[in-house]
Amino acid sequence: MKRGLVIGKFMPLHKGHIALIQFAAAQCDELIVSMSYKPDDPIPGPLRFSWIKQEFANVPSIRTEISLDDFDRESISWAGRIPLWSAFLKRRFPPVDVIFSSEEYGPRLAENLGIQHISFDLERRKIPISATRVREHPLRFWDFIAAAARPYFVKKICFYGPESTGKSTLAEKLARDFDTEFVPEVSREFITSNDFTIEDILKIGQAQTQRVLQKLQTANKFLFCDTDLITTQIYCRHYLHQVPTALSEWEKQITYDKYLLFDIDVAWVADGLRDLGHRRQEMFDVFKHELDIRKLPFTLISGNYQQREQRVRETLQLFL
């Protein structure tokens, strides 16, 4: 049996990695894909490993492995590092016949191991991408990111602020324009008036969190969210004069990449649930205060509806 080996950090897994692994698997009876990680990696090792397992779950000849990198010394030259890697691979895995790589160190590592080396797209002509470029500009190189890894890089945009400021309409419109997902204000699926209970609020908070996590899986670069768990807490405190701790815990599950705070300089429009038109400045101050105490930066969105849309689009363009 011919056993091959591919090693890497896969930070993140991209189409260049996938092509390399597929190329190697086609030439082996068994292929070991070994991912190394360090505790302080910018992308957690177990998460990266889950992307690899997901990508190749239906390929029985591929054996995925994860190892803590406690053996390498990046401060020294490759001449010194090659023996460290070679010793680790000999300890960690059964004998392999060939190592596949797209790296210049590949032939030297194979020579030290006493096995064959096969190079793949060393000059990155077939798939011109690197993990560093993806990390630095994920949306620019979106099409190169492995499907399993894309939810990690989706930019979550929170449309935030008091009622009747144009958040829902604009979030839904931009989701269509950007061909991506939109998370509505889930509370409107649970209640028809502002006469609700703590139990209602808990159901809303949990459902809102789950909806965001669900939509992340299919979002395209951006995920536009009409509300967040800070908002849920604000209205819970306003109407019920208390906030269950579960809302704070659910809030921690999702970190938004950008908060857009919508100003109150447009007309207030009643819709059956809205009843705070006479307290708009007070509520705006509450919303802003909650961002301030959490030290969450935000972009203020003001002006007429056309100006608001233009301001949001300019903000999104910075990510692209």
**Same structural domain for residues 254 and 296?**
yes
Could you give the percent of the chain with pLDDT greater than 90? 90
**Same structural domain for residues 181 and 298?**
yes
**Same structural domain for residues 264 and 132?**
no
**Same structural domain for residues 222 and 314?**
yes
As for how many domains the chain has, the answer is: 2
Q: Quote the pTM value.
A: 0.91
Question: According to the 3-state scheme, what is the secondary structure of 155-203?
Answer: EEEEEECCCCCCHHHHHHHHHHHCCCEEECCHHHHCCCCCCCCHHHHHH
Q: Which domain holds residue 187?
A: 154-319
**Same structural domain for residues 180 and 312?**
yes
Span 223-267, pLDDT tens digits? 999 999 999 999 999 999 999 999 999 999 999 999 999 999 999
Q: Kindly state whether residue 149 falls inside one of the protein's structural domains.
A: no
Q: Kindly state whether residue 132 falls inside one of the protein's structural domains.
A: yes
Final residue belonging to a domain, choices 79, 109, 142 = 142
**Same structural domain for residues 87 and 50?**
yes
**Same structural domain for residues 114 and 164?**
no
144 pLDDT band (50/70/90 cuts)?
very high
Q: Kindly state whether residue 148 falls inside one of the protein's structural domains.
A: no
192 pLDDT band (50/70/90 cuts)?
confident
Q: Kindly state whether residue 147 falls inside one of the protein's structural domains.
A: no
**Same structural domain for residues 79 and 160?**
no
Which amino acid would we find at residue 54? Q
Span 289-312, pLDDT tens digits? 999 999 999 999 999 999 999 999
Q: Kindly state whether residue 287 falls inside one of the protein's structural domains.
A: yes
Final residue belonging to a domain, choices 118, 142, 166 = 142
Task: Check which CATH number belongs to the domain holding 283 and give it.
Answer: 3.40.50.300
**Same structural domain for residues 21 and 64?**
yes
Distance CA 292, CA 118 (A): 55
